[in-house]
Amino acid sequence: MQGQVVVITGGAGGIGSAICHRLAQAGAQVVVLYRSDPQKAARLLESLPGGKHLSLQADVTQSSTLEQAARRVAEQYGRLDLLVNNAGITRPVPHDDLEALDDELIDQIFRTNWRGAFATVRAFRGLLEQSPAPLIVNISSVAAQTGLGSNIAYCASKAALDSLTRSLARALAPHIRVVSVSPGWVLGEYASRMDPALLEAQRTRTPLGRLATAEDVAQAVYAAAVYLPHTTGAVLPVDGGRPLG
Query: Measured between alpha carbons, how far is 137 from 117 in angstroms, rounded to an integer?
Result: 10
Which one is catalytic: 34, 154, 190, 227? 154
Query: Diameter of the chain by CA atoms?
Result: 50
* Cα distance between residue 245 and residue 243, in whole Å: 6
CA atoms within a 13 Å half-sphere pointing along the CA-CB vector of 55: 22
Give yes or no: 154 in active site.
yes
As a whole number of angstroms, the distance between CA 172 and CA 196 comes to 43
Sheet with 177-183: strands ordered across: 54-57, 29-34, 5-9, 82-85, 135-139, 177-183, 234-238
SS3 label, residue 217: helix
Q: Where are the alpha helices (DSSP H) in the chain?
A: 14-25, 38-47, 63-76, 103-110, 116-128, 143-146, 152-171, 189-192, 196-204, 214-226
**Amino acid identity for residue 213 in this structure:** T
Closest alpha carbon to 214 in 17, 3, 80, 52: 17
Three-state secondary structure string covering 26-67: CCCEEEEEECCCHHHHHHHHHHCCCCCCEEEECCCCCHHHHH
Annotated catalytic residues are: 154
